[in-house]
Structure 1
């Protein structure tokens, strides 16, 4: 059985990654409330089903993409149950075809491993090398469910606070697309 802890409204007692620590520091500094759970390691969207039930929301799917030359990078945030089609993404954004970025670049640029990609990686992206791209469907949801930068910590935050408080704070203006 997949373990999901009780719901907490405070940061973890100890942090597993520098990004996780910064995520909670920024949320506290911006006075953004959250609910969070600790879990067994969750890598796939199927792993997130129990997390969704516990937090009463739907987890977003966060994909780290790049062009073939690895000179343009995108953090695409879409509905967790929505299939990803590179062609649709590229057409909607008006860019050359993209693919998944290599694991080593994900760790270097986002500060996460596979399964932990999160909008909070924008904290580490001081030179705006990664473009945040939001699916219009995500914008319409009241709640934003995502990783805290680890594969064992997940949280629920109001989507409006991600858009209007967090992203401006980290100086990232998201592109909104419909796919």
Structure 2
């Protein structure tokens, strides 16, 4: 299906904060403070990777799948960034990172730790993880692209950012690091 609307791509933040969520504005402020350039596509709420296909095409950048996972005690979290077309297999990732049991974190946990709601999780949420509760896991296939697409903590916009800016400037500023994983995504 995808998002049924004409998309335009703009450079940088919106001209006005009116009608924008505080979550979204905080991301623009953070990126601007770090001097990280970005392009933006505004759109209807995108809840699935299928919804993001049109956005990805308009931006000329792959919108990555972001999964917020937790250990069995819900005491530590993982944000997994992976290609949108690759299927996710919990057991495969658990083996790769040596974690016995992984599950999806609850919506309340995502809001508390990343400042995002389901459908809007992205690497930008790491700026809210002041306690260092989240480990960033990145499928190596994402690192091959010059640009990535991600929501600014609200799924009514998607930002196109240079991959190297995300994994150097942004990650460093949030005091996180990336752990690279290789997910086969096959049966």
- Residue aligning to 1:21: 25
Q: Which of 105, 114, 119 is the matching residue for 2:118?
A: 114
**Residue pair 2:114, 2:128 contacting (<8 A) in 1 also:** yes
- Residue aligning to 1:175: 179
- The size of the alignment, in residue pairs, is 179
1:11 equivalent in alignment to 2:13: yes
- Greater CA drift, 12-21 or 81-90: 12-21
1:89 equivalent in alignment to 2:116: no
- Residue aligning to 1:39: 43
TM-score calculated relative to the size of structure 1: 0.95
**Residue pair 1:78, 1:138 contacting (<8 A) in 2 also:** yes
User: Pairwise CA RMSD of aligned residues?
Assistant: 1.3
Q: Deviations over 1:121-166 (max 9, x none)?
A: 1111111111111111111111111111111010111100001110
- Residue aligning to 2:139: 135
**Residue pair 1:111, 1:121 contacting (<8 A) in 2 also:** yes
| Uncovered stretches (5+) of structure 2, i.e. residues with no partner | none
- Residue aligning to 2:59: 55
- Residue aligning to 2:168: 164
TM-score calculated relative to the size of structure 2: 0.91
Runs of at least 4 residues of structure 1 off by over 2 A? 15-19
| Uncovered stretches (5+) of structure 1, i.e. residues with no partner | none
Q: Report the alpha carbon displacement of residue 106 of structure 1 after superposing the two structures with TM.
A: 1.0
**Residue pair 2:7, 2:55 contacting (<8 A) in 1 also:** no
- Residue aligning to 1:65: 69
Q: Report the alpha carbon displacement of residue 16 of structure 1 after superposing the two structures with TM.
A: 3.5
Q: Deviations over 1:90-109 (max 9, x none)?
A: 11111122011011111111
